[in-house]
């Protein structure tokens, strides 16, 4: 099978990361923000895998496993926080949580 | 006997302390006894001490008594000590005797006043300070007396302190004289630095030794001392306080603002005559100041309505004569005039006090009149005083001393025709205004009724001073009358002799000059009679006419000095004090605080509390850091 | 050992007073009296005992600055504190110290006495603060270790802050914070300078020490010395205060309770002068000389500005506060003139100003207690109501304007004579300041006591307690006015020593007199070796 060049993979990862970051900044819904964070994480993982393939080492894929596990844990905690958020602030709009202003 | 010298100032000082401590608990008679008694005792001691000095003069014609060393810092060691010589003898006798007479007068004049004890307290402190001033053996102690009399002048001018105008007059006096004192104290710094001592006799000896005559240092020192003298003696340009000082009770005006405190400047210059001898330019300034002052004040006295204010301007004018004499090196003439002036001016003020009291506090001479028969004793004594002031020939002491000054102004080696003419014009004006007062106050129709008459305690001082005003001049007869001049011989032991050696000396000092003086005075009195007895109405009309009125108003207001000072000095300071009362620098401090708060506001605007904003900034920052690292 | 007692007694009396206040406020007050009076008595005893030591001709004990210093203490205590940094617990007393301690305890006692009836809330805490301030002050005057000095310097800030903030008047919190920030910031600048000095010394000698006697004469570049001097100057300039760093003073003095004002005006601001005399000038004499013109200008501005500001105030206490600014301008003039006359004048002025201004604050405080206002627009004609108060106020107003016969005149005259040697214009302008002093003093008298009674006040005249306090101060001022010699003799060794410490610098005492050499007066600068020190001190010999 034809191997994917590192550059292409990194560009894809960058684009994915940028999409995720942009989404993080612009979307106000907490769940969507969590999803965007996922995208960013996956983009980072893709970069790791591509690099691992380039150098022919398993480290890249091992890091991806780390990222995956961490993402799962983070989603779990994040969703739990989102539920508490919804309960106390009655909405999922992140801009409503500005009591730390000033 | 001379060892009793220290008692002379100590007795009134003790009187002051007693009156202060026992204030409330003293009855009026007790306060009067302590107040007048202390000065009376002092006069007695003065008589003994000075008598002993005159009869059997000590070695060197001076006596020096040191009580203790005031302080000693690195060789600067002024003493609390007293120095008696001919000059201080004269001043001491005048202060204690005239002072006692005025104290006696006050026991009756102030008897209804609720501040009776306080009055004598201040008066005693004044006499003590004045005696310290004239007896001081060093300039610093002299300065202590100098400021002490200034303080008492303030306290006594503002004695009736319920009226803010009186307090204002007192403050004005203190502040204006303090301006002069600044010059004096600068002079003390200069003298001490140059001569290493402020003990008067050693200092003058050192000055003769090390000052080059006419050098800048000598002139500066003399001018600074003149500055102090000008303030205390109410000469141009610091004369503005004296007319307002008439707000005080009449005994105060008599003692402080006629006989003694205002002559402190004359004493100072006479005492430091060596410095002035070393600085001819300064002497010239003294003479010019004297001449200008005597003329300006004379014209002002001519148009006054208020009896005491007229006498105040007259005092300024007569002291101008003394300064003129000092300025032409006529030291002894100036001192002689001080003595005669003390007698007749105190007399005039005391008499004025009686008149004002008799007419229920009426000061305006145009509301007086017709008092010849009502107050005969006062009429005669006042007239004698006015005659002495005008220098009525031969029968008043004022004639002898004023004629001597006029002669000296031309005949002295420093004399000049300008001074001579000025003094003659002044004599004419003096005769004019002094008899104007006599005619307006005592003659003509009566406008105000007499409600109180003086009794013996007020009359005896008047008689005593009137007598002195007649015979007081006989101690120094002019050369062309007789050779009897014990006062001159006495003063020769302490002061340089009159140096009458100018071109015109023969004329000035002889019958020619005397004739001119007598003529001028006689003409002056004659014209005064004409203007205010037969032609009174036309004189009034003339002075009210549109051409003359502004000029009269200008003279009335003291030639505009007050007006200028108010605008140049007083108002700017008041404005600044008010505008800056919240402290200009605080605006800077407040500005710093404001900047802090503004920075806080700006920074906390960035703390929106919104997560997205924080993330955006963080992201931006990371990108920036990476760019820097990568692109290095 | 006695020196430690001076700090310890008030420091211990403080918590005792606070605790006893629970039983009764009177107990706290009496404890406070004891806490200040006992050290005062010990001080006087020590003063009398060491009188001959103080008056003995100054003997140099060896070459170099340290040698000079060693012979001049009449008592000292030194133990190591933080050895690794060279910090020791070093207390020492000479004539100047005794005078300052005398002021501290006497005014502390007066502060307690004048609050007898005025303070009714939290009496225990109040007296705790006062005593702790007194202890801090004693420490400041006694310490010769720079770290210890800084320690006490900061220590007395905190009780003072509380005194103002808790028991003060309307704008007390603002005033207290302002006071604290000003002093703290300037103190930090001084700390930086101290540390820098220590480091430079260590580089030169290899030894860390904060001991002042060791740090004297440290060699450094003149630029560095100038900067370090400014660091010290900053702290003392705020304390003194020097225009334009003075704005904390009117607020602090006005809003503080009477006792606070008395301590502030009487002692705290004297620390500025003391610090300059004891530390700043001896450590950096050349820098001081370079800075002299600026300092003289600031001093003269302070004198005149303070006086005009005083004249423009409506609040009586604020008026008195500004007079402090004006009087301390004279002190700054004297410090930078640096000759025997000016220095003796400075020390005398410190004492006389404390007495006269302290008394004025006591009177204003008493008046405020009676009529509950400080606004002079509401006063007028009070002499009729309370003649004793009027007369006493007149006396202290006269002291304020420098009337001869009172101590303030002698002090101001000595300072100005000393300044004249260095700068004619500064001396003349200083004398002009006296005219402005007359303006505000008489104005205050007129607004408050003379004139008509516009508001019909009716209150008690001075009580016996007040008469006692004020009477003592009157007697002291008159005594100092006619016989200041005891004070001058006490300070003489210090003054001579200070001049010798700086003798090897270019901080000369001014132009030599045109009329002849300095033979008749001032001590000539000693030659390069310290052994010539004793012969150069011709003070006792030269007399007129």
DSSP C202-213: HHHHS----BHH
Query: Based on the structure, what is the number of domains in chain B?
Result: 2
DSSP H or E stretch at residue B82: strand B79-84
SS3 state at B81? strand
Quick one: DSSP state of residue C265?
I
Instruction: Give contacts of B70 with chain C, Cβ < 8 Å.
Output: 410, 482-484
Whole-angstrom CA distances from B631 to A6, B625, C362 are: 22, 10, 72
Dihedrals φ, ψ of B611, to 5°? -60, -40
Chain B residue whose CA is closest to A101: B609
Contact map slice: B 353-392 vs C, CB within 8 A: none
User: Does A1 touch chain B if contact means CB atoms closer than 8 Å?
Assistant: no
Cα B24 off chain centre by: 32
Angle at B548 between CA B547 and CA B553, to 5 degrees: 125
What is the predicted pLDDT for the residue at C505? 56
What is the predicted pLDDT for the residue at B609? 83
Whether residue B463 is found in the same domain as residue B590: no
Minimal Cβ distance to C442: which of B69, B174, B581: B174
What is the predicted pLDDT for the residue at B413? 85
Question: Of all residues in chain C, what percent carry a pLDDT higher than 90?
Answer: 66
Q: Do C384 and B69 touch (CB under 8 A)?
A: no
Can you tell me the distance from the alpha carbon of B242 to that of B253, in angstroms, rounded to the nearest whole number? 9
Q: How many CA atoms lie within 13 A of B415 on its CB side?
A: 30
Provide CB contacts within 8 A for B106, sequence distance 6+.
B35, B36, B119, B120, B123, B249, B251
Strand partners, C90: C78
Q: Do B609 and A98 touch (CB under 8 A)?
A: yes
B516 domain residue, yes or no: yes
Instruction: Give contacts of B170 with chain C, Cβ < 8 Å.
Output: 442
Q: Report the neighbours of B using a cutoff of 3 or more CB pairs below 8 angstroms.
A: A, C
| Pairing between β-strand C75-82 and β-strand B63-69 as defined by DSSP bridges | unpaired
Instruction: Give contacts of C537 with chain B, Cβ < 8 Å.
Output: none
Chain A residue whose CA is closest to B617: A25
CA distance B601 to chain A (A): 9
CA distance C235 to chain B (A): 17
C-alpha dihedral, C66 to C70 to C75 to C76, nearest 10°: 40
User: Does B604 touch chain A if contact means CB atoms closer than 8 Å?
Assistant: yes
B30 domain residue, yes or no: yes
Chain B residue whose CA is closest to A100: B609
Q: Do A101 and B610 touch (CB under 8 A)?
A: yes
Can you tell me the distance from the alpha carbon of B101 to that of B40, in angstroms, rounded to the nearest whole number? 9
Whether residue B500 is found in the same domain as residue B366: yes
Can you tell me the distance from the alpha carbon of C101 to that of B36, in angstroms, rounded to the nearest whole number? 46
SS3 state at C82? strand
Minimal Cβ distance to C244: which of B164, B170, B585: B585
3-state helix, strand, coil in chain A (%, to 5): 80, 0, 20
B423 domain residue, yes or no: yes
From B543, B575, B604, the end of a domain falls on: B543
The stretch C1-27 carries a mean pLDDT of: 91
Dihedrals φ, ψ of B80, to 5°? -95, 95
Q: Do C544 and B576 touch (CB under 8 A)?
A: no
What ipTM was reported for this prediction? 0.92
Q: pLDDT tens across C127-143, in order?
A: 999 999 999 999 999 99
Instruction: Give contacts of B77 with chain C, Cβ < 8 Å.
Output: 543-544
B576 domain residue, yes or no: no
Minimal Cβ distance to C311: which of B179, B577, B585: B577
CA distance A48 to chain B (A): 19
Q: Is the predicted pLDDT of residue C535 greater than 50, yes or no?
A: no
Q: Do B73 and C341 touch (CB under 8 A)?
A: yes
* Residue in B10, B22, B64, B75 to test binding to C, most C beta-carbons within 10 Å: B75
User: Does A21 touch chain B if contact means CB atoms closer than 8 Å?
Assistant: yes
| Pairing between β-strand C87-93 and β-strand C75-82 as defined by DSSP bridges | antiparallel
**In this predicted model, which residue has the larger pLDDT, C541 or C232?**
C232
Q: What's the token pair of residue A43? A: 């983009």
For every residue of B202-253, which 3-state class applies, written as one string?
HHHHHHHHHCCCCCHHHHHHHHHHHHHHHHHCCCCCCCCHHHHHHHCCHHHH
Specify whether the CB–CB gap between C132 and C296 falls below 8 A.
no
CATH of domain A6-90: 1.10.287.3510
Q: How many CA atoms lie within 13 A of B324 on its CB side?
A: 35
Chain A residue whose CA is closest to B606: A102
Other Cβ atoms closer than 10 A to B510: 15
Other Cβ atoms closer than 10 A to C522: 26
Q: Do C250 and B583 touch (CB under 8 A)?
A: yes
Q: What's the token pair of residue A87? A: 């309960």
Q: pLDDT tens across C484-503, in order?
A: 999 998 888 888 888 877 76
What is the predicted pLDDT for the residue at C512? 29
Helix ranges, C21-156 (H): 25-49, 51-55, 64-70, 95-114, 123-142, 146-155
Quick one: DSSP state of residue C78?
E
B51 domain residue, yes or no: yes
What is the predicted pLDDT for the residue at C69? 54
Q: Report the neighbours of C using a cutoff of 3 or more CB pairs below 8 angstroms.
A: B
Q: Is the predicted pLDDT of residue C1 greater than 90, yes or no?
A: no
Closest CA to B255 of B112, B384, B353: B353
User: Does B376 touch chain A if contact means CB atoms closer than 8 Å?
Assistant: no
Give me the residues of chain B with pLDDT under 70, please.
Answer: none
B549 domain residue, yes or no: no
The stretch C47-76 carries a mean pLDDT of: 65
Quick one: DSSP state of residue B373?
T
Q: Do C514 and B585 touch (CB under 8 A)?
A: no
CA distance C384 to chain B (A): 9
Can you tell me the distance from the alpha carbon of C337 to that of B83, in angstroms, rounded to the nearest whole number? 34
CA distance B617 to chain A (A): 10
Q: What's the token pair of residue A13? A: 């990862």
The stretch C326-332 carries a mean pLDDT of: 95
Quick one: DSSP state of residue B256?
I
In the block, tokens 């003391």 appear at C274
Q: What's the token pair of residue C137? A: 């002050």
Other Cβ atoms closer than 10 A to B612: 16
Helices B200-210 + B164-195 axis angle, to 10: 50
Dihedrals φ, ψ of B390, to 5°? -75, -10
Whether residue B360 is found in the same domain as residue B301: yes
Specify whether the CB–CB gap between B269 and B276 falls below 8 A.
yes
Instruction: Give contacts of B199 with chain C, Cβ < 8 Å.
Output: 544
Q: Do B610 and A28 touch (CB under 8 A)?
A: no
Chain B residue whose CA is closest to C345: B73
Minimal Cβ distance to B192: which of C417, C449, C514: C417
What is the predicted pLDDT for the residue at B45? 95
Contact map slice: B 116-175 vs C, CB within 8 A: 140, 143-144, 146-148, 151, 154-155, 158, 161-164, 167-168, 170-171, 174-175
The stretch C516-525 carries a mean pLDDT of: 33
Dihedrals φ, ψ of B81, to 5°? -145, 160
In chain B the first and final C-alpha atoms are separated, in Å, by: 104
Instruction: Give contacts of B611 with chain A, Cβ < 8 Å.
Output: 94, 97
Cα B376 off chain centre by: 31
Dihedrals φ, ψ of C230, to 5°? -65, -35
**DSSP state string for B404-469:** HHHHHHHHSTT--HHHHHHHHHHHHHHHHHHHHHHHHHHSS---S-------HHHHHHHHHHHHHH
Closest CA to B393 of B257, B576, B261, B519: B519
B550 domain residue, yes or no: no
Q: Do B609 and A21 touch (CB under 8 A)?
A: no
Whole-angstrom CA distances from C27 to A56, B48, C215, C417 are: 89, 61, 46, 49
| pTM for this prediction | 0.89
Specify whether the CB–CB gap between C242 and C294 falls below 8 A.
no
What is the predicted pLDDT for the residue at B340? 94
Going from N- to C-terminal start, the domains of chain A cover 6-90
Instruction: Give contacts of A25 with chain B, Cβ < 8 Å.
Output: 612, 615-616, 619
Q: pLDDT tens across A77-96, in order?
A: 999 999 999 999 998 898 88
Q: Residue B34's domain spans which residues? A: 2-543
Q: Is the predicted pLDDT of residue A102 greater than 80, yes or no?
A: no
Can you tell me the distance from the alpha carbon of B106 to that of C400, in angstroms, rounded to the nearest whole number? 32
Whether residue B485 is found in the same domain as residue B626: no
User: Does A34 touch chain B if contact means CB atoms closer than 8 Å?
Assistant: no
Closest CA to B415 of B599, B287, B292: B287
Q: What's the token pair of residue B208? A: 């003769």
Contact map slice: B 318-347 vs A, CB within 8 A: none
DSSP H or E stretch at residue C93: strand C87-93
B565 domain residue, yes or no: no
DSSP H or E stretch at residue B291: helix B280-302
In chain A the first and final C-alpha atoms are separated, in Å, by: 58
**What's the pLDDT band for C59 if we cut at 50, 70, 90?**
low
Closest CA to B103 of B124, B128, B84: B124
User: Does B612 touch chain A if contact means CB atoms closer than 8 Å?
Assistant: yes
**DSSP state string for C452-521:** ---S--------HHHHHHHHHHHHHHHHHHH--HHHHHHHHHHHHHHHHHTTTSS--SSSPPTTS-GGGS
Q: How many CA atoms lie within 13 A of C154 on its CB side?
A: 14
Q: pLDDT tens across A58-76, in order?
A: 999 999 999 999 999 999 9
User: Does B608 touch chain A if contact means CB atoms closer than 8 Å?
Assistant: yes
Instruction: Give contacts of A24 with chain B, Cβ < 8 Å.
Output: 612, 615
Is the backbone of residue B9 left (phi > 0), alpha (psi -120 to 50) or beta? alpha
Whether residue B10 is found in the same domain as residue B58: yes
**In this predicted model, which residue has the larger pLDDT, B506 or C506?**
B506
Instruction: Give contacts of B581 with chain C, Cβ < 8 Å.
Output: 309, 312-314
Minimal Cβ distance to A98: which of B604, B610, B619: B610
Minimal Cβ distance to A101: which of B609, B612, B619: B609
Minimal Cβ distance to A21: which of B607, B611, B619: B619
Minimal Cβ distance to C404: which of B75, B148, B194: B148
What is the predicted pLDDT for the residue at B42? 96
Q: What's the token pair of residue B599? A: 């920075």
In the block, tokens 């508001």 appear at C455
Q: What's the token pair of residue A58? A: 């398993």
Q: pLDDT tens across C66-107, in order?
A: 555 555 677 888 888 888 888 889 998 888 999 999 999 999
Can you tell me the distance from the alpha carbon of A46 to that of C30, in angstroms, rounded to the nearest whole number? 83
- Cis peptide before B340, with omega less than 30 degrees from 0? no
The stretch C423-428 carries a mean pLDDT of: 94
Q: Quick check: do A and B touch, 3+ CB pairs under 8 A?
A: yes
């Amino acid at each position: 099978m034809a191997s994917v060049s590192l550059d292409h993979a990194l560009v894809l990862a960058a684009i994915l990361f940028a999409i995720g970051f942009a989404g993080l900044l612009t979307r106000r819904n907490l769940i969507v923000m969590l999803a965007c964070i996922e995208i960013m994480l996956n983009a980072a993982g893709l970069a790791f895998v591509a690099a691992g393939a380039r150098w022919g080492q398993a480290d890249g894929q091992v890091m991806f496993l780390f990222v995956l596990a961490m993402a799962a844990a983070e989603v779990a905690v994040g969703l739990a926080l989102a539920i508490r958020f919804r309960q106390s602030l009655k909405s999922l709009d992140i801009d409503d949580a500005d009591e730390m202003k000033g | 006997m001379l060892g009793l010298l220290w008692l002379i100032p100590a007795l009134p000082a003790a009187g002051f302390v007693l009156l202060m401590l026992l204030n409330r608990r003293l009855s009026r008679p007790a306060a009067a006894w302590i107040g007048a008694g202390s000065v009376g005792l002092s006069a007695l001691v003065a008589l003994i001490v000075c008598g002993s000095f005159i009869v059997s003069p000590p070695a060197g014609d001076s006596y020096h008594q040191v009580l203790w060393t005031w302080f000693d810092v690195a060789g600067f060691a002024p003493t609390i000590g007293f120095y008696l010589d001919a000059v201080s003898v004269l001043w001491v006798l005048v202060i204690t005797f005239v002072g006692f007479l005025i104290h006696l007068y006050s026991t009756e004049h102030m008897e209804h006043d609720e501040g009776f004890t306080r009055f004598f307290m201040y008066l005693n402190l004044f006499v003590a300070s004045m005696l310290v001033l004239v007896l001081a053996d060093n300039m610093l102690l002299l300065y202590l007396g100098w400021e002490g009399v200034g303080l008492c002048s303030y306290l006594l001018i503002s004695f009736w302190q319920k009226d803010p105008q009186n307090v204002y007059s007192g403050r004005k006096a203190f502040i204006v004289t303090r301006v002069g004192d600044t010059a004096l104290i600068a002079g003390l710094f200069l003298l001490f630095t140059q001569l290493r001592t402020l003990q008067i006799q050693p200092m003058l000896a050192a000055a003769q030794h090390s000052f080059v005559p006419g050098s800048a240092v000598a002139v500066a020192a003399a001018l600074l001392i003149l500055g102090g003298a000008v303030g205390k003696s109410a000469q141009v340009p610091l004369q503005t306080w004296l007319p307002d000082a008439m707000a005080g009770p009449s005994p105060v005006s008599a003692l402080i603002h006629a006989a003694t405190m205002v002559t402190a400047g004359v004493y100072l210059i006479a005492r430091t005559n060596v410095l002035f001898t070393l600085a001819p330019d300064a002497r010239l300034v003294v003479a010019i100041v004297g001449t200008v002052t005597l003329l300006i004040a004379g014209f002002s006295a001519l148009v006054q309505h208020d009896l005491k204010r007229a006498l105040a301007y007259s005092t300024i004018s007569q002291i101008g004569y003394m300064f003129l004499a000092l300025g032409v090196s006529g030291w002894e003439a100036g001192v002689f005039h001080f003595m005669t002036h003390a007698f007749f001016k105190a007399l005039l003020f005391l008499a004025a006090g009686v008149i004002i009291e008799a007419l229920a506090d009426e000061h305006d001479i145009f509301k007086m009149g017709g008092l010849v028969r009502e107050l005969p004793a006062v009429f005669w004594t006042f007239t004698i005083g006015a005659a002495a002031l005008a220098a009525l020939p031969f029968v008043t002491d004022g004639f002898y001393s004023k004629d001597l000054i006029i002669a000296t102004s031309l005949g002295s080696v420093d004399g000049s025709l300008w001074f001579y003419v000025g003094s003659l014009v002044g004599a004419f004006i003096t005769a004019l205004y002094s008899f104007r007062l006599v005619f307006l106050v005592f003659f003509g129709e009566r406008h105000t009724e007499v409600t109180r008459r003086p009794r013996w305690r007020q009359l005896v001082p008047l008689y005593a001073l009137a007598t002195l005003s007649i015979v007081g001049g006989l101690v120094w007869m002019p050369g062309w009358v007789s050779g009897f001049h014990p006062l001159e011989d006495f003063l020769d032991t302490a002061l340089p002799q009159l140096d009458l050696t100018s071109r015109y000396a023969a004329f000035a000092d002889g019958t020619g000059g005397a004739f001119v003086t007598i003529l001028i005075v006689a003409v002056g009195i004659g014209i005064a009679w004409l203007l205010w007895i037969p032609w009174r109405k036309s004189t009034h009309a003339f002075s009210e006419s549109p051409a003359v009125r502004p000029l009269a108003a200008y003279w009335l207001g003291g030639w505009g000095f007050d007006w200028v000072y108010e605008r140049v000095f007083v108002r700017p300071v008041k404005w600044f004090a008010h505008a800056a009362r919240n402290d200009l620098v605080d605006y800077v401090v407040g500005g710093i605080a404001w900047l802090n708060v503004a920075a806080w506001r700006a920074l906390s605007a960035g703390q929106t509390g919104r997560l997205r904003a924080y993330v955006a900034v963080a992201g931006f920052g990371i990108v920036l850091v990476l760019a820097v690292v990568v692109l290095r | 050992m006695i020196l430690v007692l001076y700090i310890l007694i008030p420091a211990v009396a403080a918590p005792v007073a606070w605790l006893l206040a629970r039983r009764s406020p009177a107990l706290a007050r009496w404890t406070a009296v004891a806490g200040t009076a006992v050290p005062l008595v010990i001080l006087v005893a020590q003063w009398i005992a060491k009188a001959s030591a103080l008056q003995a001709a100054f003997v140099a004990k060896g070459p170099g600055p340290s040698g000079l210093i060693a012979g001049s203490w009449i008592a000292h205590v030194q133990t190591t504190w933080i050895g690794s940094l060279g910090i020791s617990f070093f207390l020492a007393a000479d004539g100047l110290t005794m005078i300052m301690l005398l002021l501290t305890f006497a005014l502390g006692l007066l502060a307690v006495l004048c609050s007898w009836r005025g303070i009714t809330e939290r009496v225990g805490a109040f007296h705790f603060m006062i005593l702790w301030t007194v202890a801090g002050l004693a420490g400041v005057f006694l310490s010769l270790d720079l770290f210890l000095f800084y320690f006490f310097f900061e220590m007395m800030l905190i009780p003072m802050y509380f005194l103002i903030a808790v028991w003060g008047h309307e704008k007390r919190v603002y005033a207290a914070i302002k006071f604290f920030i000003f002093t703290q910031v300037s103190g930090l600048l001084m700390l930086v300078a101290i540390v820098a000095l220590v480091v430079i010394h260590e580089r030169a000698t290899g030894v860390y020490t904060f001991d002042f006697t060791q740090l004297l004469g440290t060699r450094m570049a003149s630029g560095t010395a100038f900067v370090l001097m400014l660091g010290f100057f900053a702290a003392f300039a705020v304390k003194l205060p020097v225009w334009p760093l003075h704005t904390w003073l009117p607020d602090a003095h006005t809003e503080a309770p009477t006792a606070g004002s008395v301590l502030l005006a009487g002692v705290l601001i004297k620390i500025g002068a003391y610090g300059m005399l004891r530390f700043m000038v001896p450590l950096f004499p050349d820098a001081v000389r370079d800075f002299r013109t600026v300092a003289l200008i600031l001093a003269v501005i302070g004198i005149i500005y303070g006086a005009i500001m005083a004249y423009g105030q409506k609040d009586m206490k604020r008026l008195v506060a500004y007079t402090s600014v004006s009087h301390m301008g004279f002190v700054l003039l004297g410090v930078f003139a640096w000759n025997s006359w000016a220095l003796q004048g400075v020390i005398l002025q410190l004492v006389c100003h404390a007495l006269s201004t302290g008394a004025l604050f006591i009177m204003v405080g008493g008046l405020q207690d009676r009529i509950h206002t400080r606004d002079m627009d509401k006063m007028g004609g009070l002499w009729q109501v309370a003649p004793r108060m009027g007369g006493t106020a007149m006396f202290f107003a006269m002291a304020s304007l420098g009337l001869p016969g009172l101590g303030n005149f002698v002090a101001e005259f000595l300072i100005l004579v000393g300044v004249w040697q260095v700068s004619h214009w500064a001396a003349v302008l200083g004398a002009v300041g006296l005219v402005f002093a007359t303006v505000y003093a008489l104005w205050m008298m007129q607004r408050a006591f003379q004139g008509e009674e516009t508001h019909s006040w009716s209150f008690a005249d001075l009580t016996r307690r007040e008469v006692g306090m004020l009477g003592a101060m009157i007697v002291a001022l008159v005594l100092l006015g006619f016989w200041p010699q005891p004070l001058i003799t006490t300070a003489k060794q210090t003054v001579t020593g200070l001049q010798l410490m700086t003798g090897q610098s270019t901080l000369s005492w001014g132009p030599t007199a045109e009329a002849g050499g300095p033979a008749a007066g001032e001590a000539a600068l000693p030659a390069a070796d310290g052994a010539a020190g004793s012969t150069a001190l011709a003070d006792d010999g030269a007399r007129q």
